[in-house]
Amino acid sequence: MYRRDRARLPAAERRRQIVEVTTRLIAERGFWGLSMQDVADGCGLTVPGLLHHVGSKDGLLVAVLDHRDEEDMRAVDEQAPGTLRETCAALVRRNAAQPEIVRLFAVLEAESLTPDHPAHKYFSERQKHTVEMLSELAAGESDDPGALARQIVALMDGLQLQWLRYPETVDLVSEWEQASARLFPTS
Amino acid sequence: MYRRDRARLPAAERRRQIVEVTTRLIAERGFWGLSMQDVADGCGLTVPGLLHHVGSKDGLLVAVLDHRDEEDMRAVDEQAPGTLRETCAALVRRNAAQPEIVRLFAVLEAESLTPDHPAHKYFSERQKHTVEMLSELAAGESDDPGALARQIVALMDGLQLQWLRYPETVDLVSEWEQASARLFPTS
DNA sequence: TATTACCTACTAGGTACTCAGTAAGGACTG
DNA sequence: CAGTCCTTACTGAGTACCTAGTAGGTAATA
């Protein structure tokens, strides 16, 4: 017998919900530890119902990453180009406000180091893109802008890990301020 | 019928092999993505044969981490206390020589951010311990040794991720040398 | 002979995914 | 405003397989 006690949502809205739930679960378990069942439960539908929207488990991951890209694009567009220091500070502030997302990326970034992970290419290109963008901004301020850009990214990633592990004792923004004072030539 | 075409190893030796194989597999898949079957296959025995040695999947993880601790202890003991810069350089050199292990820790560190991960406590204490040790060394060289220690750890972790992602274009040692020049007061 | 490394066989439950259907909502028509 | 069609969000049932873990036995070694 066919039971329909649950809400039936328009595709766009359901997708939004799926992405949100999946984001949370990947942050907790990683992609390998993620199960379609858990996502379906979190959305209040069955596994085939979930698959109707995303096609496969890999499709689910693609949906999440695509959504993040769109959000990031919008955030970057809103922000005026500014200096290197300002851009970094803005980035850190943005991240400090969404720990769930940062954790998603931290877990997925490490997991996807191996080339056969479905998000491997995505994260390699993302990293390359970020370093290039920061390099351009650093062009005036350093004689090796590439190295500085890599160090900035490294420091951010590392501080984020510490912040995520000890959220109550480590404050991401102030930690970054201290670090950037040491990283950038004193002004 | 009981078939015995495979080698029968003494417990200690088999354990060594199990730890080695598991290390490689966790580095690739994480702990959530690890299966006892894969480990057993990699060791040339059955799953119950594997369980005979480690008891459970969590026991397998404990075995791997305990082994790492012993190795690290030995490495630290061998090294003379030295300055902060020298200690960091030695740490980086040691890591640069064992990418597999570094990847294991990178993946497990991110995965274990969530408190219900079986390695959560292990990594929290490890991080605390590392920062404390570096803080002591930094006591003379900085007015805020704790912050400097956290920044060193963050930078190392971040650079390691980049090195693991682009092993051919990023050299961990030289990357650290450049970074430490910026991090430490010029001497 | 005693220990123990390891096996076969099994359980109970989870995995992603497929197929064929059902009904809800919107769009046409009368 | 009612009736009908069509698209589509979603379900139930099932497939083939993988999961960690147990029970009890076999044989290699000390």
Could you read off the pLDDT tens digit of each residue along chain B, which spans 187 residues?
Answer: 777 778 899 999 999 999 999 999 999 999 999 999 999 999 999 999 999 999 999 999 999 999 998 998 899 888 877 899 999 999 999 999 999 999 999 999 999 999 999 999 999 999 999 999 999 999 988 999 999 999 999 999 999 999 999 999 999 999 999 999 988 876 4
Contact residues, B window 102-141, toward A, CB-based 8 Å cutoff: 103, 106-107, 109-111, 113-114, 123-124, 127
The Cβ of residue B59 has, within 10 Å, a number of other Cβ atoms equal to 13
CA atoms within 13 A on the CB side of A58: 6
Distance from CA of A114 to the nearest CA of B (A): 6
3-state secondary structure of A6: coil
Domains in chain B, CATH or no CATH each: 8-78 (1.10.10.60), 80-187 (no CATH)
CB contact A2 to B (< 8 Å): no
- In the block, which residue shows the tokens 């025995």? B45
- In the block, which residue shows the tokens 């740490």? B91
Q: What is the pLDDT of residues A84-96, one digit of tens each?
A: 999 999 999 999 9
Whole-number Å distance between alpha carbons of B136 and B84: 9
CB contact B159 to A (< 8 Å): yes
Structure tokens at A18: 């799926």
* B150/A159 CB distance under 8 A: yes
Interface test with chain B among A135, A155, A166, A175, by most B beta carbons within 10 Å:
A155
Q: Give the torsion through C-alpha atoms of B22, B23, B26, B31, to 10 deg.
A: 70
Residues of chain A in contact with residue B182, where contact means CB-CB under 8 angstroms, are 148, 151, 182-183
**Are B104 and B157 within 8 A, CB to CB?**
no
CB contact B183 to A (< 8 Å): yes
3-state secondary structure of A139: coil
Among chain B residues, CA nearest to A127: B162
CA end-to-end span of chain A: 72
Full DSSP string of B69-138: HHHHHHHHHHS----HHHHHHHHHHHHHT-HHHHHHHHHHHHHTTSTTSTTHHHHHHHHHHHHHHHHHHH
Whole-number Å distance between alpha carbons of A163 and A101: 13
**What are the C-alpha distances in Å from B88 to residues A154, B29, B52, B120, B160?**
16, 29, 40, 25, 13
Whole-number Å distance between alpha carbons of B58 and B122: 13
Residues of chain A in contact with residue B183, where contact means CB-CB under 8 angstroms, are 182-183
